[in-house]
Amino acid sequence: MSRIESRTEARPGEEGGAAGTLVDRLLAGLPAEAVLTDPDVMASYAHDMASFCPAGAPAAVVLPRTVEQVQHVMRTATELRVPVVPQGARSGLSGAGNASDGCIVLSLTRMDRILEVNPVDRIAVVEPGVVNAALSRAVDEHGLCYPPDPSSWEMCTIGGNIGTASGGLCCVKYGVTAEYVLGLDVVLADGRLMSTGRRTAKGVAGYDLTRLFVGSEGSLGIVVRAVLALRPKPPEQLVLAAEFASAAAACDAVCRIMAGGHVPSLLELMDRTTVKAVNDLAHMGLPETTEALLLAAFDTPDPAADLAAVGALCEAAGATQVVPADDAAESQLLLQARRLSLTALEAVKGTTMIDDVCVPRSRLGDMLEGVERIAAEYGLTIGVCAHAGDGNTHPTVCFDAADPDESRRARESFDRIMALGLELGGTITGEHGVGVLKKEWLAREIGPVGLEMQRAIKQAFDPLGILNPGKLF
């Protein structure tokens, strides 16, 4: 048994000679309302939104409001050798927020203050529990924007976005979370507070520990404050919808758009299964006769001209219909359809496994064709929506969790899709993270030497193995 696994099974008071129970020790530095021990309440904090990911029963759920309270939790956990599982809004899709037996679930949702918005330096300073959409609305008042916008932006938190290095619909032009995190305050496993990064536009002092924490899924430390880069608010974007008779033709259009030097603010794809699911859920009147629907948007000074150029490329690739939105309201309606995709696919059978394999743009067509073959082979409904502009696909396996055979086929098809992504030169996760779900696949992707070095980093930051044990590797 590895060191991390053995620490996961530790119980309060079994190691370290700490006196008193875990809850008593926690309450010594926390208000009573911040420590939850009711089994039914704790069960609601036991897992995120991922399927096929085991979750244990926590010993306590703690909801701190201050950095000092987080430090107290980590000091207590270190003294008693108790695992700690950090959580945001639990909207994750890889099991990274799942509890382990006897752990402290550290929910950071009550640390939700926007501490500063600075239009001159173009930064925001926030606590980890700030909801992504709330930050976007707050900086909008200053004529600024925070570009990363995951589909769950109305509920996911900045801390969770940092933990999984989230992406979003606008990544094709503006990039992902990692490109906007300038600095962090992090509570380490032993309770010490460390600051990384900067507030300045540039800075190369020492190793880039800030980037190290982005995407670490709470396994190296607890983010309690973040300095985020902002951009000037762009003009209102306009969206174009293009219908295609095949997913291959839609992917050809994506390649033509990118090769042509265009910089859309959004380039999203929905296959026929996804379009139908959205219509069934929201009755939006999307064209179900199409095999693939491509959405392209521009937030340039003359978006209509850009959409016209992209529309011509779509027609050259075989689009059966190209419809540019007339105004911002119609554009928002199309974007809402894309944001509803995953929720709509879940409604098909009641349960989904959502993959987020990212492949080179040039192999996007191969990826979608491969997923279609896998769906036929396993007799399953698999819808695909994608951030097509950066090759990040979300094949979503729909299945009945009450049917053991269908559940087995769902899991096997999920693994086949990840294997296909690696075969095409891609990665097993573009933005959802590894968590519990993809531990085996992380080892395959980075290889034994890469895995050894990542474990060495984990050991340096968390020698007792108490931070989110059992995740990543």
Whether 92 is in a domain gets the answer yes
CA distance 10 to 80: 8
Torsion of CA 206, 197, 145, 264, to 10 degrees: 20
Please check whether residues 12 and 28 belong to one and the same domain. yes
Provide, rounded to the nearest whole percent, the portion of the chain with pLDDT above 90. Answer: 88
Please give the radius of gyration of the chain, using alpha carbons only, rounded to the nearest integer: 23
Please check whether residues 164 and 245 belong to one and the same domain. no
| C-alpha 469 chain-centroid distance | 19
Q: Provide the 3-class DSSP secondary structure of residue 273.
A: helix
Please check whether residues 65 and 119 belong to one and the same domain. no
Residue 47 buriedness (CB in 10 A; 0-12 / 13-18 / 19+): buried
Please check whether residues 39 and 126 belong to one and the same domain. no
CA distance 344 to 338: 10
Report the pLDDT value the prediction gives residue 11, as an integer from 0 to 100.
Answer: 42
Mean per-residue pLDDT, 127-152: 96
Whether 457 is in a domain gets the answer no
Whether 453 is in a domain gets the answer no
Per-residue pLDDT tens digits for 236-283: 999 999 999 999 999 999 999 999 999 999 999 999 999 999 999 999
Please check whether residues 257 and 207 belong to one and the same domain. no
Task: Check the CA dihedral 386-351-340-124 and report its sign.
Answer: negative
Cα separations in angstroms, 384 against 5, 282, 292: 36, 18, 10
Secondary structure of 6-47 in the HEC alphabet? HHHCCCCCCCCCCCCCHHHHHHCCCCHHHEECCHHHHHCCCC
Please check whether residues 9 and 50 belong to one and the same domain. yes
Mean per-residue pLDDT, 390-400: 96
Q: What is the pTM of this model?
A: 0.92
Per-residue pLDDT tens digits for 448-461: 999 999 999 999 99
| 7 pLDDT tier (thresholds 50, 70, 90) | very low
CA distance 244 to 234: 30
What is the domain-level CATH number for residue 361? 3.40.462.10
What is the domain-level CATH number for residue 93? 3.30.43.10
Of 187, 202, 232, the residue at which a domain comes to its end is 232
| 2 pLDDT tier (thresholds 50, 70, 90) | very low
Backbone angles phi, psi at 131, to 5 degrees: -75, 140
Please check whether residues 374 and 390 belong to one and the same domain. yes
CA distance 71 to 77: 10
Per-residue pLDDT tens digits for 298-351: 999 999 999 999 999 999 999 999 999 988 888 988 889 998 999 999 999 999
Per the structure, how many domains does the chain have? 3
Whether 14 is in a domain gets the answer yes
Mean per-residue pLDDT, 415-430: 97
Q: Which domain holds residue 74?
A: 3-110
